[in-house]
Structure 1
């Protein structure tokens, strides 16, 4: 855990949680519906998306092979990194994607775990889940399924997942502690968390933190790195590592024409592991 007197104190938003969830659900439902009326991806064939989290896909960490491997319609361009690149997935593993959207990261994960593995995507937006399920057939992904549910209340059994992915979604939650507690619950002992997300590097202006549109656009809900480290440790995770991505500065600057959001935000990789047993958990706690 990091102790830094100069660290930003950003933790959550000034919005009522129910209102925040409604704003997020509305925004991404509209994105899914708009994408479904197009001939391809939101950020491609359908024209320029208004979502500020869209950057160049290769700039976010995807290779050209990644982009070519998934059929059009799954990549909605809503991420801020490539969580599959840091997850070290193995054949036969069970993978869970928090906030799976159109399913792009799920289909990439399915390639890694193979026919003997399984990928589960969870999203709280009915339109997104419907779209993702349509993409299963398009991508011939028989080892991928999508479930409707909130990441704070996962529709997944205890201790059945080897790796959890998420791409620019945890920041949208009004209860990040609950998200990490749920992630811990569904992971097997030794299971791991591999997340790409936006984090706060300075206290966010109130007009960002208190605006539902900014929160639902992956801006106002970003938490500071020390806050996230504390939440993960409190949930029981060990080997917590949060690494800012300096290269994200270029596309974050494009998110707001009126101010430089790179003064407040950066993309980061967030990794952590569930202890293999109680003894390991206790020893990590003593070391901290």
Structure 2
């Protein structure tokens, strides 16, 4: 099992390293235009203009910062911080008295995020190399944890939620945007490398995902939003097109499969007494 987990992580690390070098992507969200797609998943034009160019790699499936109700002075951790988009938006919310820590296991992503940080002259953002299953963060550090279309990529999701619980302070908040399944998808897609990197093959069934959060110790687990991404956007994604071609999936069948995939925004709280 551990060997399999290591293979999955290496596959994801390699795939996202390439994405960082290309400076753009489409994690299940389409490729007609980075700005247009980002707006479709919940970012405003004002937010996108407030971050350094190159921070938005179109890797998200939502805007967790928008619903996190961040307060000045809070400490925020972003699981799978990519080019730094959500970190920079969070940094604007928490101010100079607060701090944002982005964690990513891909060195190329960290290089880009740090360059974006310097470009934007952020003094309250730090990026750390590490796996979200083994966070390089001390216990009871954060007030809020955010994550955007990343946890579905983990081969050990229960461990991710356990780590999130560990580093949150009592009464700390979890705010996640992620992809989940309404029903099982074909086995051929589950085993497909491109589909995994495209945030589809690694997605859990919705209730299983919520149960994993609860088992980690969180309470007040709630889906705040649930959205199906437009089919036209999904099939314009280069990764989706590659998977469809490899597996000889018709457009009609693709519509059925993608109909099983939804983007959710989930919130949860670490109890005061632990």
Give the structure-2-normalised TM-score.
0.88
Q: Deviations over 1:223-243 (max 9, x none)?
A: 111101211111000000124
> Does structure 2 conserve the Cα–Cα contact (< 8 Å) formed by 1:53 and 1:218?
no
Displacement of 1:86: 1.0
The 5-angstrom pairing of residues 215-226 of structure 1 reads: 215-226=196-207
> Does structure 1 conserve the Cα–Cα contact (< 8 Å) formed by 2:30 and 2:234?
no
Structure 2: where are the runs of 5+ without partners?
32-36, 242-249
Q: SS at the partner of 1:232?
A: helix
The 5-angstrom pairing of residues 266-281 of structure 1 reads: 266-278=262-274
Q: SS at the partner of 1:141?
A: coil
Displacement of 1:277: 1.1
Displacement of 1:244: 5.0
Structure 1 segments of 4 or more deviating over 6 A?
Answer: none
> Does structure 1 conserve the Cα–Cα contact (< 8 Å) formed by 2:224 and 2:264?
yes
Larger proportion of helix? 2
RMSD of aligned C-alpha atoms?
1.8
Equivalent in 161, 183, 206 of residue 202 of structure 1? 183
Q: Counterpart of 2:246?
A: none
Provide the C-alpha distance between the structure 2 equivalents of 1:112 and 1:50, rounded to a whole number of angstroms: 26
Displacement of 1:201: 0.7
Does residue 1:53 correspond to 2:10, yes or no? no
Provide the C-alpha distance between the structure 1 equivalents of 2:201 and 2:129, rounded to a whole number of angstroms: 25
Does residue 1:189 correspond to 2:170, yes or no? yes
Give the structure-1-normalised TM-score.
0.84
Provide the C-alpha distance between the structure 1 equivalents of 2:117 and 2:95, rounded to a whole number of angstroms: 15
Q: Counterpart of 1:10?
A: none
Q: Counterpart of 1:232?
A: 213
Does residue 1:179 correspond to 2:179, yes or no? no
Q: Counterpart of 2:102?
A: 121
Does residue 1:148 correspond to 2:129, yes or no? yes
How many aligned positions are there?
253
Structure 1: where are the runs of 5+ without partners?
1-12, 36-41, 43-48, 279-288
Provide the C-alpha distance between the structure 1 equivalents of 2:99 and 2:261, rounded to a whole number of angstroms: 34
Does residue 1:107 correspond to 2:88, yes or no? yes
Provide the C-alpha distance between the structure 2 equivalents of 1:19 and 1:53, rounded to a whole number of angstroms: 25
Displacement of 1:16: 2.4
Does residue 1:242 correspond to 2:223, yes or no? yes
Structure 1 residues 146, 267: closer, same or farther in 2, change over 3 A?
same
Q: Deviations over 1:201-236 (max 9, x none)?
A: 110110111112211110100011110121111100
Provide the C-alpha distance between the structure 1 equivalents of 2:204 and 2:91, rounded to a whole number of angstroms: 30
Q: Deviations over 1:168-195 (max 9, x none)?
A: 0000000000000000000000001001
Does residue 1:25 correspond to 2:13, yes or no? yes
Q: Counterpart of 1:9?
A: none
> Does structure 2 conserve the Cα–Cα contact (< 8 Å) formed by 1:193 and 1:272?
yes
Displacement of 1:248: 2.3
> Does structure 2 conserve the Cα–Cα contact (< 8 Å) formed by 1:52 and 1:254?
no
Q: Name the stretch that deviates more: 218-227 or 172-181.
A: 218-227
> Does structure 1 conserve the Cα–Cα contact (< 8 Å) formed by 2:30 and 2:236?
no
Q: SS at the partner of 1:19?
A: helix
Q: Counterpart of 1:39?
A: none
> Does structure 1 conserve the Cα–Cα contact (< 8 Å) formed by 2:27 and 2:60?
no
Q: SS at the partner of 1:147?
A: strand
Q: SS at the partner of 1:16?
A: helix
